[in-house]
Amino acid sequence: MKNIYDLSFSEIESFIKEKDEPSFRSKQIWEGLYQHRYSCWEDFSALPKPFRQMLENHIALTSLIKVDSVFSNDLQTEKVLFQMNDSNYIESVLLRNDNRLTLCISTQSGCPVGCVFCATGNLGFNRNLTSGEIIEQVIFFIRALQPDNEKLTNIVLMGMGEPFLNYDNTISAITSLNDASGLNIGARRITISTIGIVDRIKQFAEKELQINLSVSLHAPNDLLRQQLVPLARKYPLRELFEICHYYFEKTNRRITFEYVMIGGINDSPALAHELVSLLRGLNCHLNLIPLNPTSHFIGKPSNPAMIREFGRILLEKGIATSIRDSQGSDIQAGCGQLAGTINQRKQ
């Protein structure tokens, strides 16, 4: 059975035409999905009952089932486990920070990149999500927040998986999320995070979208980066930074780089100076993220003093740098901790 969220507006129009229904039914369905966020076909009261019945028999309105959820000790982070129709699992994370409500969503079940410090990579790769499964994560949280009159402010495709290894479905999903006649989530409130899939960054740049781009770096030289990120063997830093410069020239959009700080591995002052040389001349911002512990990786987060010194070196050389909090790490909801299994400790 098809998932309605997998269909673009033009695909819904084609379906309506095949069924010899008036063309305005397409708009009624689209608005019901993305503006009213109906959860069953019976809610689409503007549609004739026989047509609703046909839709119920042929097109699913959901493909994700909430299995469990857990809140952090400070109640600022919620992690939700979803099961998909084929019994694969994904996790999404809602982060509260000041006046921001940021939703971190998944694009794959598991991940083929294999970063050594990442719980998702340790799972291996199950499959790509469809565009509808990506969208449904957002719809779920919009509905959940509605009773308290809360609204999502930001979406980051930074959960399980590598978005640019599921490129077409990722772009299709953000197109629907950004659609002015749909959820109307502003492009600048959406961020795609990638390990650096060079050909896809080029393709993305050529779309000249206002979507934010974040690149997971983790090391300033190929030898160390390839030890931490096995897939980086296919994408040397020289090629990655050529395409990053191309991206900025094409879009005039600043790039964010993510750098997980691992004690004694990638946090030395010498590596900070290497990083300065790599980033100099590119309009970018660097986030330093203390390693979030996982059960399969013996590395430890860098000492806070080492992180501050690392950041000081970068800032003194003119590289815009921030030290990020590891929000949600107590429920395994921080960067690199999503593993498709919910932490059982609850409030």
Q: Which of 78, 91, 162, 258 is catalytic?
A: 91
Helices (H) and strands (E) in the chain, counts: 11, 14
| 335 catalytic residue (yes or no) | yes
Closest Cα to residue 130, out of 173, 91, 87?
173
3-state secondary structure of 322: strand
Task: For CA atoms 313, 315, 317, 319, give the dihedral sign.
Answer: positive
Spatial separation of the C-alpha atoms in residues 175 and 219, rounded to whole Å: 32
Q: Where are the beta strands (DSSP E) in the chain?
A: 2-3, 59-60, 64-71, 77-84, 89-97, 100-105, 108-110, 125-128, 154-157, 190-194, 212-216, 255-261, 284-290, 321-323
Spatial separation of the C-alpha atoms in residues 323 and 326, rounded to whole Å: 10
| Residue 126 half-sphere exposure toward CB, CA atoms < 13 A | 20
| 136 catalytic residue (yes or no) | no
| Residue 298 half-sphere exposure toward CB, CA atoms < 13 A | 1
Instruction: Report the DSSP beta bridge partners of residue 323.
Output: 288
Identify whether the C-beta of residue 186 lies closer than 8 Å to the C-beta of residue 192: no
Helix or strand run (H / E) with residue 222: helix 222-228
> Contacts by 11-14 with C-beta closer than 8 Å and gap 24+?
none
Active site residues: 91, 335
